[in-house]
Amino acid sequence: MKTNWKALVLVGLLSSASTLAGFKLLSSNSDRDVIFKESPSESLARFTSTGAPAGAPGDFVYAAEATTPTVVHIKSTMTRSSRGGQGDIPDIFRDFFGDDFGGGGSRGPQSSEASGSGVVISPDGYIVTNNHVVEGAQELEVTLSNKSKFRAKVVGADPSTDIAVIKIEGKNLPAITFGSSDAVKVGEWVVAVGNPFNLESTVTAGIISAKGRGLGIIGQSQNRRGNATPTSATTGDVPLESFIQTDAVVNPGNSGGALVNLKGELIGINTAIASPTGSFAGYAFAVPSSIVKKVSGDLIKFGNVQRGYLGISLDELDSRKAEEYGVKVNDGVYVRDFTENSAAKAGGITKGDVIVKVDGMNTHSIPELQQSIGLHKPGDKVTVTVNRNGAEKDLSVTLRNRTGGADVLKRDESAVVMSVLGAQFGNISDQEKQRLTRYKVEGGVKVLSIDGGKLARTGVEEGFIITKVNGKPVKSVKELEASLAGKSDSMVQFEGLYIDAPYDVYSFGFRF
């Protein structure tokens, strides 16, 4: 029987109901050099919890003591505008968090609290966590392992990898050392550190179960086309999934916490579990540290992620597809087509090629290819090895950005403000406008669809009509965009209603 992973993965995108945090965009500083603590490049020593003396590198105790001071507890508050109480919060979280999520079936704005985890990556207060931890709330409080508390702001977030960076005003903080996620092996011992169910500084252990997992849980429109066509409505980037799978126990609240090797080096950020109940069932997934380092560095330096693209439409091979396509190998990634201004096409790759390596590293799947290419920026050159008619050929490809150019893409502040709302908008019809005039409402902007983001987190549903922003009427999408221009570091208050319940006026706000 084929497992439906999307139905099973409950911590990650769905656990955001229990791991929300404040969202405030800071201006980026393109002159800042991002420096992380990194482990030596030599191969990691193979240790077991009983094969090394207590306190020595490789012991579980050593890994826990090295990591725990760098992992923080994130607590958030937000206001939900609910039509029926607890909205989209899964039953398991309602049962655990109780009335904090505004039960009782009442209508209107309701306050909620939630928690998650994060990892300090620099002594001056930069912290990496999951995007779903920071999405959709008003305030963010960070508690360090020594019980010090700070208010935090969001530097930037990348929904396509579910990684975000937040900042607290701290000095000389204990920062984690980055290890090599590429060097870890299946069967290697690992330790997970986080705050499950609000239990601070919890340590669990397990092994690496698999690498390069693509589950299709990031983004709203997964399509298995590699990095051919952008599908993320929030960033314009294709979801990038190449998870490390582990059997270390991870539960709601672990999101954003550390997965480390036995030397206490970061090899991943815990993001999701596969479970039919919402609690740990043996399968946990983490974003590899190679992706974390690339994404967090770009968010700090540029305000958004600079990802290189091949510009191709892909398919993953097996023996049946190899026969269908008439290729000589059944392991690799098949090139079906090219996008406009494709870097791969310009570099000599042709339709029908099978990509088997990138920079000498074997490529067995689309997630592995996405990771290899996504770690580079536009303008970087990579060596792509293809199997063409049974023979391997090395090709030098200069990667491009998602628009087909080689330039660094600056963050469009206006687009960011609109995109973090996570919705599609439209002008209301004349008939709808006529129905509203009797209630002294002259117009508004209708929510056509919800794609995740702040509106979803506040409980807004399709059909909601925004009538005012910061107390001023808005009557068209253009006016809505104008009212949000320049608000990337501001508190914004919304007011609106549902046309089937015009007497109920909803008001809610959050900081962009």
Binding-site residue set for substrate: 132, 162, 253-255
Residue carrying structure tokens 């973090």: 420
Question: Binding site: residue ranges?
Answer: 132, 162, 253-255
Q: Which two tokens stand for residue 221?
A: 């429109």
Q: Which member of 132, 237, 342, 353 is catalytic?
A: 132
Give the DSSP letter string of 402-459.
Answer: TTSS-SPPPP-HHHHHHHTT-EEEEEPPHHHHHHHHTTT----EEEEEE-SSHHHHTT
Helix, strand, or coil (residue 166): strand
Which residues are within 8 A (CB) of 238 and not within 5 positions of it... i.e. 6 or more apart? 160, 219, 225, 226, 227, 228, 229, 230, 231, 232, 370
Q: Which member of 59, 158, 162, 247 is catalytic?
A: 162
Long-range contacts, 316-325 (Cβ 8 Å, 24+): 316/224, 316/365, 316/366, 317/354, 325/352
| Cα angle 498-504-509, degrees, rounded to a multiple of 5 | 80
- To the query of whether residue 364 is one of the catalytic residues in this protein, the response is no
CA nearest to 384, candidates 364, 355, 362, 404: 355
Q: Which member of 81, 255, 419, 488 is catalytic?
A: 255
Helix, strand, or coil (residue 37): coil
- To the query of whether residue 132 is one of the catalytic residues in this protein, the response is yes
Under DSSP, the state recorded for 137 is: B
- To the query of whether residue 353 is one of the catalytic residues in this protein, the response is no
Burial of 511 (0-12, 13-18, 19+ CB in 10 A): buried
Catalytic residues: 132, 162, 255
